[in-house]
Amino acid sequence: MGFVNRAKNVATKTKNYFVHDKELIDAFNKQYFDTRVWQNRTHWFGTRILKCPTDLWVYQEMFHELQPDLVIETGTFNGGSALYMAHLMDIVGKGEIITIDIEKKDVFPEHPRITYHTASSVAPETIAMVAEKVRGKKSVMVILDSDHSRDHVLQEMKLYHRFVSKGNYLIVEDSNLNGNPIHSELRHGPGPMEALHEFLQENSDFKIDKDREKFMVTFNPNGYLKRVQ
C-alpha cells in the first residue's frame, strides 16, 4: 500500500476509533480529570495553568493557523494561560492578549503582550473596554474561562461572540462539567455545555468544530466554536 493510501487508512481507523470507543474515551477523560493533576501540578514556565495539555496543543495549532491579532480571555486565575498564549504569539511574531478576572494577583506574570483587566467579564465597562480594543483588529479570538455556571457563560457568549472575527473561534472552556462526561463535581449543575447549546439554538454564525477534539482528551467537548459567517 502506498504512503497516501496508508495515511488514509490510518485516518479512517482513527475516526472509527473515536466513534466506537466513546465509552472508553469518556472513562479516560474522567480518570484524567479526577487525578486533579491539571489543577495542582500543571505549570507553564512556573505559573499554574488550569488546562489539559492536549487542549494547549490544539491552541498552538490554532495560533499558528489563525495568527490572532487579539485574544480576549475571561478568567485569568494565575495568568498561566495568558503567559502560554503570549509565548505562542512571540513565536508567531504578532498578537496581544487581554485577560479579565474579578481577582488581581501578585503572581500574574509580566509580559509585554498581556494586559490584565480586573473586573467582572460581564460588566458594561469591561465590554466597552474590549470593544475599544477590538477596533481595527483583523483576527480576533475569544476564550471563555471564568465562572462556569450556565447563566454566566450564556451571558458571556451573548456579549462576546460579536468580537470574534470570521474564521476564528469562540472557545468555551470546561464544557466537560455536569456529566459531559465529568461527574465529579456533582453540585456544579448546568454549565458551559448547557450554555453553548442554548446559544447555538439562536445563533447560526458559529459551528462546533469537532476536529479540534482529535486528541480525544479534552476539557472542551463541543467547546471549539468556529465563526462561519
Ligand X SMILES: C[S@@+](CC[C@H](N)C(=O)[O-])C[C@H]1O[C@@H](n2cnc3c(N)ncnc32)[C@H](O)[C@@H]1O
Q: Report the interface residues with ligand X, using CB under 6 A.
A: 49-51, 74-77, 80-81, 100-103, 120-121, 145-147
Nearer to ligand X, 108 or 199 (CB): 108
Least CB distance from residue 120 to ligand X, whole Å?
A: 4
Nearer to ligand X, 23 or 106 (CB): 106
Least CB distance from residue 146 to ligand X, whole Å?
A: 4
Least CB distance from residue 115 to ligand X, whole Å?
A: 14
Query: What is each CA distance from 202 to 72, 109, 154, 187, in whole angstroms?
Result: 23, 38, 12, 28
Alpha helices in 70-208 (DSSP H): 80-92, 124-134, 150-160, 192-202
CA max distance for the chain = 61
The Cα 121–Cα 99 span in angstroms is 9
Nearer to ligand X, 83 or 134 (CB): 83
The Cα 95–Cα 62 span in angstroms is 13
Least CB distance from residue 123 to ligand X, whole Å?
A: 8
Nearer to ligand X, 51 or 226 (CB): 51
